[in-house]
Amino acid sequence: VGLVDRNRRLNADEIRQGKTILGSTPLQINFELIGYCNIVPPCLYCSGKNHGYNYAPLDAAYLDGYSDFIRNAEHLNEDSFGEPLMHKKLTALARTATSRGQRFSFVSNGLLLSGTRAQELAECGERLGFHVSLNAATPEMYYKLHGQPFDKVLGNVERYIALYQEINGGLSPDLVLTFIVMRVNRHEIFPFLELAQRLRVRPLLAQLHDRPSIPLGKFGYDFVYENEMLSPAEYFEVGEHVRAFARERGMENVVIQWDPEYDSAVLSFHRDQDRAVEDAGARATGAKRPAAWNYSPQPRAAAPAGGPS
Ligand SMILES: C[S@@+](CC[C@H](N)C(=O)[O-])C[C@H]1O[C@@H](n2cnc3c(N)ncnc32)[C@H](O)[C@@H]1O
Ligand code: SF4
């Protein structure tokens, strides 16, 4: 039994026994490699960057000090408030983790997803997952928000999918396209979902954080943060329309981040449980998924007062 499996089992036993001091180490470790970003001036909605929040790249050797924890974790998540593909060691870390049987993930703007980087990431196979932030379905909207060419990011994503399939026996990558729903782009949600369906990747709709900032750049659109935020009732209404659209199109993979039914922590927990069972070969013997002891299904939120009828 490998380090990851041993740690996962120990952790499950300790949680079941209600232990408060654990011998197991965290199953997931989040770390940030870089605070710099290749989009300058920043995306209009990026609160941190528009407030001037930048930090230098981390020397990857720093992580060696935590190697006991890192080797035991089943999931390493790179969580930069910058662009992780700018970090020289990102692909090497992804390769080391996935070749050890660990899951590795990150979030990217996708503009650097090409060449050697794309090749090295595709070679990591099914244990690598990442999100690409799109927020648009047309070049006009993408430029308005990011000041960058849509064709570049879309071309990178399309080529990456083709490359991944070529290297991984026709399988699709674990790739999520994200879309922050704002007033300016909400009319592109359905075309965005169609794009994700065409590319056979998972679409994720997210809320604009309640952290207003004033954009440093201007790409032909007067972005006033506070005006771009939808009310809870509007997000609820968007969610209902998206659910109906997804049903009609037979899309079962749409994630609406503000919907309690799609709570990412719960979903991730279930996926990890599934993986644990699979890894142990328990499916072959008909074993059931282990009980999710910290999960109770939440009823769907009722329509907020004043919301769509
Ligand atoms: C800070 S970015 C870092 C990764 C990468 N540079 C990118 O943009 O994908 C991480 C995620 O935060 C999202 N994000 C940035 N500003 C946001 C805001 N004001 N509200 C909601 N999400 C935001 C981005 O769209 C992205 O999906
Ligand atoms: S690409 Fe990401 S980190 Fe860079 S400005 Fe846009 S949201 Fe912020």
- Predicted confidence at residue 294, as pLDDT, reads 33
Q: For residue 262, is pLDDT > 90?
A: no
Atom index in ligand 2 nearest the CA of residue 109 equals 1
pLDDT band at 305 (very low <50, low <70, confident <90, very high): very low
Average pLDDT taken over every residue of the chain: 88
Least Cα distance to 268 among 204, 189, 200, 180 occurs for: 204
Ligand 2 mutation pick, 46, 111, 133, 178, max ligand atoms within 8 A of CB:
46
Quick one: which atom of ligand 1 is closest to the CA of 132? Answer: 9
Q: Is the pLDDT of residue 304 over 90?
A: no
pLDDT of residue 260: 81
Nearest ligand for residue 209 CA: 1
Say if ligand 2 is within 6 A of residue 43 CB.
yes
Q: Give the whole-number percent of the chain exceeding pLDDT 90.
A: 83
Give tens-digit pLDDT for 59-102.
Answer: 999 999 999 999 999 999 999 999 999 999 999 999 999 999 99
Band the pLDDT of 288: cuts 50, 70, 90: very low
Angstrom distance (rounded) from CA 215 to CA 123: 37
Closest CA to 181 of 145, 149, 228: 228
Q: Please check whether residue 193 is in contact with residue 251, taking contact to mean a CB–CB distance below 8 angstroms.
A: yes
Ligand 2 centroid–CA 62 distance in Å is: 24
Across residues 188-212, what is the average pLDDT? 97
For the segment 228-252, the average pLDDT, to the nearest whole number, is: 97
- Give 112-131 pLDDT, tens digit per residue: 999 999 999 999 999 999 99
pLDDT at 293: 34
For residue range 138-152, what is the model confidence (pLDDT) as tens digits?
999 999 999 999 999
DSSP track, 124-178: TGGGEEEEEE---SSHHHHHHHHSS-HHHHHHHHHHHHHHHHHHTTTPPPEEEEE
Q: Is the pTM of this model over 0.85?
A: yes
Residue 126 Cα to ligand 1 middle (Å): 24
